[in-house]
Amino acid sequence: MATLPTIVVLISGSGTNLQALIDATQQGQLKAKIVAVVSNRQKAYGLERARLAGIPTETVSLKKFKDQGKSREDFDNFVGQLIDQYKPTLVVLAGWMHILSPRFLSHFPNDNVMNLHPALPGQFDGAHAIERAFEAFQQGKITHTGIMVHKVIADVDRGQVILQQPVPILDTDTLEDLEDRIHKAEHELIVKGAQVFLDQLASL
């Protein structure tokens, strides 16, 4: 029996996208094994989701690094070293609320770091993408938004797109309605994107 490819997932919050990945691996929809979950927030509920699934967890703190007089790059280097110990086939950023520098990416020369972003390519890069899309819709600038899974490069949210999916915005929507619709779509796309990315890596 072939050994399954391995995934390390990075989170910052409740971990609903992580749960989608966990469920997909358990059901055989995602042919991989999650070998670790790393959070930059100690109270992130996603850590509990990982523990319930028997997945090892790690917690890292940028604040502690800064309190010790260390830099953001030092933190990124540490996170990269931490993940590299697991030798993952794929690293998935699933709601990881920290922009990673080239210092982190230098640990992954195989270009195997993937991010889920709640916007279409080139539309709303960076933070608060859903809020910015909703505001643009209200101003009549767009008729829909979307989500994408892409490779992580130093240029934020500009890496090669693996999968993307438009998400409609309705005239009756509140911001919360749009957030709910996007998150539901994310739970499906992150699983499909991870499998496509793993298939691409296997073909190299």
Q: What distance in Å separates the CA atoms of residue 38 and residue 93, rounded to the nearest whole number? A: 10
Is-contact 35 88, C-beta < 8 A?
A: yes
pLDDT for the residue 110: 85
Residue with tokens 């993952």: 88
Average pLDDT over residues 183-201: 96
Evaluate whether residue 156 is within a structural domain.
yes
Residue with tokens 């399954």: 4
Evaluate whether residue 1 is within a structural domain.
no
pLDDT for the residue 2: 65
CATH code of 86's domain: 3.40.50.170
Evaluate whether residue 169 is within a structural domain.
yes
Q: What distance in Å separates the CA atoms of residue 192 and residue 202, rounded to the nearest whole number? A: 15
pLDDT for the residue 84: 94
Domain count, the chain: 1
Q: Show Cβ contacts of residue 102 under 8 Å, excluding neighbours closer than 6 positions.
A: 154
Per-residue pLDDT reduced to its tens digit, 81-130:
999 999 999 999 999 988 888 999 999 988 999 999 999 999 999 889 99
Closest CA to 196 of 94, 93, 90: 90
pLDDT for the residue 12: 95
Q: What is the mean pLDDT of the chain?
A: 94
Evaluate whether residue 108 is within a structural domain.
yes
Question: pLDDT band for position 47 (50/70/90)?
Answer: very high
* pLDDT surpassing 60 at residue 1: no
Boundaries of domain holding 15: 6-203
Quick check: helix, strand or coil at residue 179? helix
pLDDT for the residue 36: 98
pLDDT for the residue 155: 83
Average pLDDT over residues 6-18: 97
* Helical spans, DSSP H, in 6-128: 16-27, 46-52, 62-67, 72-84, 102-105
**165: how many CB neighbours lie within 10 A of its CB?**
16
pLDDT for the residue 193: 97
Percentage of residues in the chain with pLDDT exceeding 70?
Answer: 99
Tokens of 48: 């509990």
Per-residue pLDDT reduced to its tens digit, 135-161:
999 999 999 999 999 999 888 778 899
pLDDT for the residue 204: 81
Q: What distance in Å separates the CA atoms of residue 193 and residue 198, rounded to the nearest whole number? A: 9
Q: Show Cβ contacts of residue 186 under 8 Å, excluding neighbours closer than 6 positions.
A: 17, 20, 116, 118, 147
Is-contact 15 47, C-beta < 8 A?
A: yes
Catalytically annotated residues: 117
